[in-house]
Amino acid sequence: MRWDKNIWHTLIGSREEFSGSERTFHMVCLAATLAMILGTTQNIILGLDELVYTMAAVFVLLFFCYILSRVYRKFIAGWGIFVSFCVVILGINYYFNAGIDGPTLITTFIILIFFFAISPVKLAWGFSLLMISLFGVIIYCDFHGLGPNVIPYEAEADKYIDIYFSYTWTLLIVLAIFYRIRSDMKTQNDTLRSQKEALEKSQDELEASNQELNRLFSIISHDIRNPLISIEGYLEVLEKDDLDPADDERMRGELLNLTKSSSSMLDHLLTWSKGQIHGHRFCSKHVQIDEEFEGTLALIEDLSKKKGVVFESDIPDDQQVICDPDLMVIVVRNLLHNALKFTSEGNSIGITSVVQDDHWIMTMYDQGQGMSQEKQDSLFTLKAKSTFGTNNEKGIGLGLILVKEFIDQHNGSISCQSKIGEGTTFIVTIPQKEE
């Protein structure tokens, strides 16, 4: 049995463990036990010794029913015993407590309403029929003089005191329990409402994600199919026609660009899809930046020379940072490839790296085409539209999505500053506090 912090919920059971009927039954048992204590005290004051012993016995039986359902999880058995003894106690109360002139009819009516509210659905009507029959038997017995012949009150006023207090404490307990039932229902409704809102939000997010994925696959099918068709066409021309050296060199260069572009798109797609399925493995450690980025920067420098773009690198020797080097190499490679892609011959691209105030700050810049604010707002999402570079280089936008995901894994941030015709600057910030 799991004990909650809240004493009340510990006594009646949690919603995860028990149904609403079971929790209500536990409340009834506890309330009825309290009622027996109050009734016993009342009857001691009024000198009704027979009822004192009877209520003491009922107190024990009520607590037994509670334990049977709450601890041993035998709700139906506990409920059946409880109902049976309620019927018995009403009969005893009728016979020893002034018959129809006492509080029996009021108590019977309240218990009828009360038990109808908490009974299991399959048993509620049967119980109600039992209580109505008992009510009829009491009226029949009293009408035909089969009830008690002795009024157990020493004074006439005691009868009215007994009826008043029996009615009052029974009604107060019923009201308290119904208040708890309404409170629980409100809590359950609030929980259901929150779950519904969360579900609707998840559905909206899923629909948006599906739309983005559909768009992505459409882009992939278009942007990978088209280069393959072009490659096929070029190869057919090379096979059938004799080209002059200039055209042959031009077509071979275009074939190389198309192949590299398709290879890059597939590389990004495979990296992204692998991360979506298995997650990217994150391994942060102390690394020396110039050594980790050496191969990537050498490749970018070589590509820049071929395109006639100046590549500038300002990374201090022996600079130590904390990061996942495999992920950050992909980040740097993607951002510098994009910088080179949109920068024309004669202009420059570059990278700087500094560590200050427990943060590693990398800046990658270019003197390229620049971007509109609308395009900047859609960066790092599948909504970003693919754009041709200055040499007709093509991508599908997954590179920047990978960049954002990898930076997020470092609890870092990336920002973009760009103006059309002036170029673009990406600033990557990675915290350097060890966790």
323 shares a domain with 178: no
Residue 425: its pLDDT value, please? 94
Q: Is residue 247 part of a domain?
A: no
- Of the residues 165, 200, 235, the one at which a domain ends: 200
331 shares a domain with 187: no
Residue 321: its pLDDT value, please? 92
193 shares a domain with 52: yes
Q: Output the tens digit of pLDDT for each of the chain's 435 residues.
A: 444 446 777 788 877 788 777 777 787 778 777 777 777 787 787 676 766 777 777 778 878 888 888 888 888 888 778 777 777 767 766 666 666 666 666 666 666 666 666 666 666 677 667 767 777 777 777 777 766 655 555 666 776 776 677 677 667 766 766 776 677 677 778 888 888 888 888 888 888 767 656 655 655 565 566 567 767 777 777 676 666 777 777 777 777 766 765 676 666 566 656 665 565 567 888 999 988 888 888 878 888 888 899 999 999 988 999 998 888 888 898 899 889 888 988 999 999 999 988 899 999 999 988 888 888 888 877 665 556 556 655 554 567 887 888 899 899 999 999 999 889 999 999 998 765
Place of tokens 């009021």: 106
Query: What is the number of structural domains in the chain?
Result: 2
- Cα–Cα–Cα angle for 200, 202, 205, nearest 5°? 110
193 shares a domain with 288: no
Residue 38: its pLDDT value, please? 76
Residue 431: its pLDDT value, please? 92
Residue 244: its pLDDT value, please? 75
Q: Is residue 235 part of a domain?
A: no
Q: Is residue 255 part of a domain?
A: no
In angstroms, the CA 331 to CA 408 distance is 11
Q: Is residue 268 part of a domain?
A: no
- Of the residues 200, 226, 247, the one at which a domain ends: 200
In angstroms, the CA 360 to CA 411 distance is 12
Asked if 25 and 75 count as a contact pair (C-beta separation under 8 A), the reply is yes
Give the CATH number for residue 358: 3.30.565.10
Q: Is residue 12 part of a domain?
A: yes
310 shares a domain with 194: no
Residue 364: its pLDDT value, please? 94
179 shares a domain with 33: yes
Q: Is residue 409 part of a domain?
A: yes
Q: Is the pTM of this model over 0.75?
A: no
21 shares a domain with 159: yes
Residue 384: its pLDDT value, please? 56
Q: Is residue 381 part of a domain?
A: yes
172 shares a domain with 45: yes
- Of the residues 147, 180, 200, the one at which a domain ends: 200
Domain assignment of residue 93, given as a range: 7-200
Q: Is residue 258 part of a domain?
A: no
